[in-house]
């Protein structure tokens, strides 16, 4: 078998055989298939798709490329959550300790930024000393002693996906539904969690722009999880506007701590609690109240223990960008649109994301929002603050914001989209 034949099959809209899929995943993992060849195959998959049989086999091959974890020794039921990526989507940070405070164990394997979307690991690495890379034994120890762990997938867990994940980020193939589904579910199934809640984003700032595409992705992943014995539920959630008031790394950590302290933006709190309830229900925990765990400080206690267990200092001062640029409202009225994608691109261009898989990210870079759709603004008031260590990036970031908001006349009625748009089980 050879990679050119595999690429041509999918290029010509054919169905990849189980043997082709098994071979190409194994060969790519071993380095026999080069990055440029897998890039061509990924683009062919993006353009021509895969059927359910192909996706299931691709996912199984990704799992088979590495090891599988086992959490059966834990005294708590396990429940995990995965987001398909958004702008300002810091939900994992308060959610994991919140669910742990309510009695479940949360083995949260997270990733880095993809394109304009932020990465959970990039955010947490802005905390001095915090480590994303843990051995399996270390992960199990943190999970057993604190109830939650957020870390990178180990080298032994779906190594094929680790290579392909980084490649998709820099080759314009992030949005391929089969590759998104197999990437997420291969890690989650191999991880060994007992239940899984998927947060599938919909809107301009998401990879799924339409509710139809989001339902297709959610249904595919729920089926993959269910067939593998993992109780899987998906929520479709709005990503037309950034979540919360920040998009960046350290900026989002600060906002997450505010939520754990009983404050924070209403939309972040609402989605955190909604996902917590789904995770607890999937884990079979019926009598816990996540809203109470936020209010009484127990979620914050679990956050501090979790961060410290991974080498971080929960009391440390978070990095702040050296330079700021304020964008003001051009007119007075009601803010009716603030485009999530444009804000995400601006944060990425300021240094919060990466253009190549080898690029570093700036901990303090990002965008701070001073108003959300529905708010009344006055001409000249701050609308956004851009943060970066490299001020020469401001002009490039500002170009992405040329048509990022609408301001209607004063008194205009405005109705926001609901946070949760649908549920698929």
Give the confidence band of 174 by pLDDT, cuts at 50, 70, 90. confident
Strands 231-238 and 420-424: antiparallel
* Catalytic-role residue among 187, 302, 305, 393: 187
183 as an active site residue: the answer is yes
Write out pLDDT tens, residues 92-130: 999 999 999 999 999 998 888 877 888 999 999 999 999
- The percent of residues above 90 in pLDDT, for the chain, comes to 87
* Catalytic-role residue among 57, 116, 168, 349: 168
65 as an active site residue: the answer is no
Closest Cα to residue 302, out of 172, 143, 196, 157? 143
Write out pLDDT tens, residues 48-105: 999 999 999 999 999 999 999 999 899 999 999 999 989 999 999 999 999 999 999 9
Q: Could you give the CA distance from residue 145 to residue 105 in angstroms, rounded to a whole number?
A: 10
* Catalytic-role residue among 82, 90, 116, 393: 82
Predicted structure pTM score: 0.90
CATH architecture of 3-49: Up-down Bundle (1.20)
pLDDT above 90: residue 290: yes
Q: Three-state SS across 207-273?
A: CCCCHHHHHHHHHHHHHHHHHCCCEEEEEEEECCCCCCCEEECHHHHHHHHHHHCCCCCHHHHHHHH
* Catalytic-role residue among 161, 199, 238, 339: 161
pLDDT above 80: residue 366: yes
Return the domain boundaries, the chain: 3-49, 79-309, 323-408
The CATH number fitting domain 79-309, selected from 3.40.1030.10, 3.90.550.10, 3.40.50.720, 3.40.50.1970: 3.40.1030.10
Which homologous superfamily is 323-408 in? Pyrimidine nucleoside phosphorylase-like, C-terminal domain (3.90.1170.30)
The residue-averaged pLDDT of 159-172 equals 87
pLDDT at 357: 67
Work out whether the CA dihedral 149, 154, 156, 159 comes out positive or negative.
positive
pLDDT at 350: 97
* Catalytic-role residue among 39, 83, 182, 183: 183
Write out pLDDT tens, residues 1-26: 899 999 999 999 999 999 999 999 99
Closest Cα to residue 72, out of 209, 224, 194, 244? 194
Write out pLDDT tens, residues 296-355: 999 999 999 999 999 999 999 999 999 999 999 999 999 999 999 999 999 999 999 987
Provide the 3-class DSSP secondary structure of residue 196.
Answer: strand
Termini Cα distance of the chain = 39
302 as an active site residue: the answer is no
pLDDT above 80: residue 356: no
Mean pLDDT of the chain: 95
């Amino acid at each position: 078998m050879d990679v050119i034949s595999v690429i041509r099959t999918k290029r010509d809209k054919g169905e990849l055989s189980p043997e082709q899929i098994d071979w190409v995943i194994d060969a790519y993992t071993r380095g026999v298939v080069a990055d440029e060849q897998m890039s061509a195959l990924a683009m062919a998959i993006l353009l021509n798709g895969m059927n359910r049989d192909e996706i299931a086999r691709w996912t199984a091959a990704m799992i088979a490329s590495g090891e599988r974890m086992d959490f059966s020794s834990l005294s708590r039921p396990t429940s995990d959550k995965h987001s398909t990526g958004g702008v300002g989507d810091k939900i994992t940070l308060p959610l994991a300790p919140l669910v742990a405070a309510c009695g479940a164990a949360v083995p949260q394997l997270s990733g880095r930024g993809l394109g304009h979307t932020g990465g959970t690991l990039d955010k947490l690495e802005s905390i001095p000393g915090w480590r994303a890379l843990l051995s399996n034994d270390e992960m199990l120890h943190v999970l057993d002693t604190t109830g939650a762990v957020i870390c990178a997938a180990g080298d032994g867990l779906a190594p094929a996906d680790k290579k392909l994940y980084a490649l998709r980020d820099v080759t314009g193939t992030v949005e391929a539904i089969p590759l998104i589904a197999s990437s997420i579910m291969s890690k989650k199934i191999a991880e060994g969690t007992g239940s899984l809640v998927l947060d599938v984003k919909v809107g301009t700032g998401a990879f799924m722009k339409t509710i139809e595409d989001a339902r297709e992705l959610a249904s595919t992943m729920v089926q993959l999880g269910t067939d593998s014995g993992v109780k899987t539920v998906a929520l479709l959630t709005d990503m037309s506007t950034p979540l919360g008031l920040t998009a960046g790394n350290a900026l989002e950590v600060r906002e997450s701590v505010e939520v754990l302290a009983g404050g924070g933006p209403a939309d972040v709190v609402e989605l955190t609690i909604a996902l917590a309830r789904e995770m607890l229900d999937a884990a079979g925990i019926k009598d816990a109240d996540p809203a109470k765990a936020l209010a009484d400080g127990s979620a914050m206690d679990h956050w501090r223990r979790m961060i410290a267990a991974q080498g971080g200092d929960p009391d440390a001062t978070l990095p702040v960008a050296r330079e700021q640029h304020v964008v003001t409202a051009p007119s007075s009225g009601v803010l009716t649109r603030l485009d999530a994608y444009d804000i995400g691109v601006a944060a990425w261009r300021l240094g919060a994301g990466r253009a190549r898989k080898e690029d570093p990210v700036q901990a303090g870079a990002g965008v701070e929002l001073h108003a959300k759709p529905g708010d009344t603004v006055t001409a000249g008031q701050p609308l956004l603050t851009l943060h970066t260590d490299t001020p020469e990036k401001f002009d490039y970031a500002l170009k992405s914001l040329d048509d990022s908001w609408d301001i209607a006349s004063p008194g205009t009625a405005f109705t926001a989209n609901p946070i949760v748009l649908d549920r698929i089980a």
